[in-house]
Chain A
């Protein structure tokens, strides 16, 4: 199979890119590991930022740069924030049902924002954007490939020729050749397992595949923790709750942090409360049942299912949980990478809009503005592709066969849960050198043990244990790179907090670059596209 543009990932970023490339007359194939709308974007609740006045565009730029703590690229920030009103207009024009305030699109204020500028559709903002994009992609005749898991990028001589995919239904390895490859595979916050708000599958297979193909990754150590996840299940309670006036209190009823401070500050404050044995709650009672039901129906339902608590009437137990990964595949401002014909967009990419910490409401915005730009970049690639069997496909095919014969003397699921716990406690909200180095040795031990792991389920048919094992393989590969970044950065900046280096330092006012050369991890700091500290 071949096409003009292959897009792996069918979340918001992938679909916007697909729509744009299809509008430009390209033959587009979107690959998803499940079905198209089963994407992380469906979980985005709070809103999508877009200023409604010229003055607020400027403030949106300033808020984003401030939140990025010197690592957001000022040109990218300016471009995205300036395009934001147009992005909302476009979404409105293709059918997204944004809530209205009088006759204007309604806007609410999220944490870290100096004005209300997050457009929303109740607490289903991401869901409704995602489904509207899917409808429009269907209309344009975008081809969808369901239930195929990304293995690798086919690249030779620093150029991408397509991807290798595992067909989940048959466990066959297939190659999909294209003039341009776009990865929109999402972030990797699920490496923290039960301490993450993410859905299953956010283990960064796209970022890991990019690293194997020789792409540079950047700023991986910046992982945003969301302060308000349900205590038992880590399911997210949107920032909109705090926007409506919810308070954060401990079991003594004490308020210990400003609810509208940035996510990293609130997360750390809650983490510290939990560390000294306190319990932490979100108090939504003053908002009132009517408003909660109207604006946050989803949260209320989930709180009742997972905590047996009605937030309109009782205190809701919460904890901070890994939510979003700012770093990823390093890209230029057009979405291009250091590999020709290979692009990345959305949470898997780092175009440096968010810098060291993301402002709430900017991720949905990024996927619309950057998705469009990347769709255009990929559509402009001209190349004749020769339809041949690439060596990569053969290697991957043999690898999958080999997984079935691995001895399985170590249970990978047990190892995975162990590593997730180790990561949260030592490479999570609060970090320090010794503990991080300990995590690195655990990861390297797990890498060595991979060959002794394997799968119990030997069926070639829809083998979900095989997928989970591949995800775990990607996870140990990628977390090594992330922790190396965290060890090297001897400072605190944005979401990266080092207890042993609590201050921001000028010498680290740079992006962390990590890549592999002949299988060896290399790292460097690069001072470019940065702003004042």
Chain B
């Protein structure tokens, strides 16, 4: 079986080339890449750790769609590429620094938690959101980054929502205050993030929920202003 890998090394000319490799049948993408590195080409560079879908280190793109290499079964003629919107360091390894910084910028952490009695239904409410493994698949799939580098992005917003809907969290407004700029209103609701999430998280829906929380705190969608006046100037 053959797959193509987009290779990148900034010191080479050209820095980007596509290479084809022969790999065994019925293997995960991670097993295929490990096979290439072990037996064909030691310079092939990629990241991985747990091989069981929980550490988030092996996200990459196959035929233009984000997957975890350890959970994806390779198909004939697949084209493997690194994530988008994060600088590629080498081959399939991306620099996730700017993606991770969205967590701090959006205050995606508990602000002030108090002891509150919880039931299983309360936990179930934030169960999916707290399954996030920070693999950056959603970040790479998000078209907003084509126009706005400062966008807080799907995983950070999902994480904010996870704390906003946590009954123990007391400072819900402060969370919302942190995500109105370059945040919830900038999402196009295209749903790419939801489609690629390996954990079945639905950031698009979480962002919609955050929008309604924002409305509750008196925020309005700045993009709707022009619709309110039918986009016409009087």
A95 interface neighbour in B93, B107, B163, Cβ under 8 Å: B163
CB distance from B186 to the nearest CB of A (A): 22
CB distance from A433 to the nearest CB of B (A): 34
Stretch at the interface among B17-25, B114-122, B204-212: B114-122
User: Interface residues of A, CB < 8 Å — how many?
Assistant: 54
Query: Whole-angstrom distance between the alpha carbons of A136 and B127 in the complex?
Result: 18
Contacts of A39 in B (CB 8 A): 55
For the residues of B in contact with A, the DSSP-based class is loop
* Cβ proximity bits A112-140 to B, threshold 8 Å, 1 near / 0 not: 00000000011010011001100110110
CB pair B49 A459 closer than 8 Å: no
CB pair A461 B133 closer than 8 Å: no
A127 interface neighbour in B54, B123, B126, B159, Cβ under 8 Å: B54
Query: Whole-angstrom distance between the alpha carbons of A4 and B16 in the complex?
Result: 42
Contacts of A122 in B (CB 8 A): 127
Does A169 have its Cβ within 8 Å of any Cβ on chain B? yes
CB distance from B124 to the nearest CB of A (A): 9
* Cβ proximity bits A19-46 to B, threshold 8 Å, 1 near / 0 not: 0000000000000001101111011000
Contacts of A40 in B (CB 8 A): 50
Does B178 have its Cβ within 8 Å of any Cβ on chain A? no
Does B142 have its Cβ within 8 Å of any Cβ on chain A? no
Does A413 have its Cβ within 8 Å of any Cβ on chain B? yes
Does B109 have its Cβ within 8 Å of any Cβ on chain A? yes
Does A464 have its Cβ within 8 Å of any Cβ on chain B? yes
Query: Whole-angstrom distance between the alpha carbons of A382 and B126 in the complex?
Result: 42
Least CB separation from B107: chain A residue: A139
Query: Whole-angstrom distance between the alpha carbons of A306 and B53 in the complex?
Result: 12
Does B75 have its Cβ within 8 Å of any Cβ on chain A? no
Stretch at the interface among A50-58, A96-104, A153-161, A248-256: A96-104
CB pair B52 A236 closer than 8 Å: yes
- Scoring B46, B53, B73, B95 by chain A CB atoms within 10 A of each residue's CB, the highest score goes to B53
Query: Given contacts A95-B110, A97-B123, are A34 and B49 in contact (CB under 8 A)?
Result: yes
CB pair B120 A456 closer than 8 Å: no
* Cβ proximity bits B22-50 to A, threshold 8 Å, 1 near / 0 not: 00000010000000011000110111111
Stretch at the interface among A61-69, A297-305, A322-330, A474-482: A297-305
Does A94 have its Cβ within 8 Å of any Cβ on chain B? yes
* Cβ proximity bits A87-98 to B, threshold 8 Å, 1 near / 0 not: 000001111011
Does B182 have its Cβ within 8 Å of any Cβ on chain A? no
CB pair B89 A461 closer than 8 Å: yes
Does B223 have its Cβ within 8 Å of any Cβ on chain A? no
CB pair A461 B50 closer than 8 Å: no
Query: Whole-angstrom distance between the alpha carbons of A199 and B97 in the complex?
Result: 22
CB distance from A380 to the nearest CB of B (A): 27
Does A6 have its Cβ within 8 Å of any Cβ on chain B? no
A93 interface neighbour in B54, B55, B93, B115, Cβ under 8 Å: B115
CB pair A302 B52 closer than 8 Å: yes
Does B177 have its Cβ within 8 Å of any Cβ on chain A? no
CB pair A38 B57 closer than 8 Å: yes
CB pair B55 A42 closer than 8 Å: yes
B52 interface neighbour in A43, A97, A461, Cβ under 8 Å: A43
Does B181 have its Cβ within 8 Å of any Cβ on chain A? no
Interface residues on B, range: 35 or more
CB distance from B61 to the nearest CB of A (A): 18
CB pair B43 A131 closer than 8 Å: no
CB pair B97 A139 closer than 8 Å: no
Query: Given contacts A37-B56, A97-B130, A459-B9, are A199 and B50 in contact (CB under 8 A)?
Result: yes
CB distance from A524 to the nearest CB of B (A): 36
Query: Given contacts A98-B123, A100-B119, A413-B38, are A38 and B49 in contact (CB under 8 A)?
Result: yes
CB distance from A287 to the nearest CB of B (A): 19
CB pair A138 B103 closer than 8 Å: yes
CB pair B123 A100 closer than 8 Å: yes
CB distance from A490 to the nearest CB of B (A): 37
Contacts of A463 in B (CB 8 A): 45
Query: Whole-angstrom distance between the alpha carbons of A456 and B41 in the complex?
Result: 9
Does A465 have its Cβ within 8 Å of any Cβ on chain B? yes
CB distance from B13 to the nearest CB of A (A): 14
Least CB separation from A417: chain B residue: B38
CB pair A461 B11 closer than 8 Å: yes
Does B175 have its Cβ within 8 Å of any Cβ on chain A? no
Contacts of B37 in A (CB 8 A): 464-465
Does B76 have its Cβ within 8 Å of any Cβ on chain A? no
CB distance from B141 to the nearest CB of A (A): 19
Query: Whole-angstrom distance between the alpha carbons of A455 and B49 in the complex?
Result: 21
Does A258 have its Cβ within 8 Å of any Cβ on chain B? no
Query: Whole-angstrom distance between the alpha carbons of A319 and B113 in the complex?
Result: 43
Does A449 have its Cβ within 8 Å of any Cβ on chain B? no
Contacts of A103 in B (CB 8 A): 117-119
Does B144 have its Cβ within 8 Å of any Cβ on chain A? no
CB pair A139 B134 closer than 8 Å: no
Query: Whole-angstrom distance between the alpha carbons of A35 and B93 in the complex?
Result: 12
CB pair B90 A462 closer than 8 Å: yes
A199 interface neighbour in B10, B43, B55, B131, Cβ under 8 Å: B55
Does B149 have its Cβ within 8 Å of any Cβ on chain A? no
Least CB separation from B34: chain A residue: A200
Does B132 have its Cβ within 8 Å of any Cβ on chain A? yes
* Cβ proximity bits A350-369 to B, threshold 8 Å, 1 near / 0 not: 00000000000000000000
CB pair B119 A102 closer than 8 Å: yes
CB pair A201 B49 closer than 8 Å: yes
CB pair A200 B45 closer than 8 Å: no
CB distance from B67 to the nearest CB of A (A): 12
CB pair A199 B49 closer than 8 Å: yes
Does A500 have its Cβ within 8 Å of any Cβ on chain B? no
Contacts of B90 in A (CB 8 A): 459, 461-462
Query: Whole-angstrom distance between the alpha carbons of A136 and B103 in the complex?
Result: 11
Query: Whole-angstrom distance between the alpha carbons of A225 and B97 in the complex?
Result: 36
Contacts of B134 in A (CB 8 A): 35, 37, 131
Contacts of A201 in B (CB 8 A): 49
Does B157 have its Cβ within 8 Å of any Cβ on chain A? no
A34 interface neighbour in B42, B43, B57, B159, Cβ under 8 Å: B57
Contacts of B127 in A (CB 8 A): 97, 121-122
- Scoring B9, B50, B110, B123 by chain A CB atoms within 10 A of each residue's CB, the highest score goes to B50
CB pair B28 A305 closer than 8 Å: yes
CB distance from A161 to the nearest CB of B (A): 28
13 chain-A/chain-B pairs, Cβ below 8 angstroms: A43-B50, A95-B163, A97-B127, A99-B123, A139-B109, A199-B49, A199-B55, A200-B48, A235-B52, A302-B52, A306-B28, A457-B43, A461-B90
Which 4 pairs from chain A and chain B are nearest by CB? A135-B109, A199-B50, A456-B42, A139-B109
Q: Which residues of A contact B (CB under 8 A)?
A: 34-35, 37-40, 42-43, 92-95, 97-103, 106, 121-122, 124, 127-128, 131-132, 135-136, 138-139, 146, 169, 199-201, 233, 235-236, 298, 301-302, 305-306, 413, 455-457, 459, 461-465
Q: A98-B123, A121-B127, A127-B131 are in contact. List 9 more A-B contacts (CB 8 A).
A: A95-B110, A97-B123, A97-B127, A102-B119, A135-B103, A138-B108, A169-B95, A306-B28, A459-B90
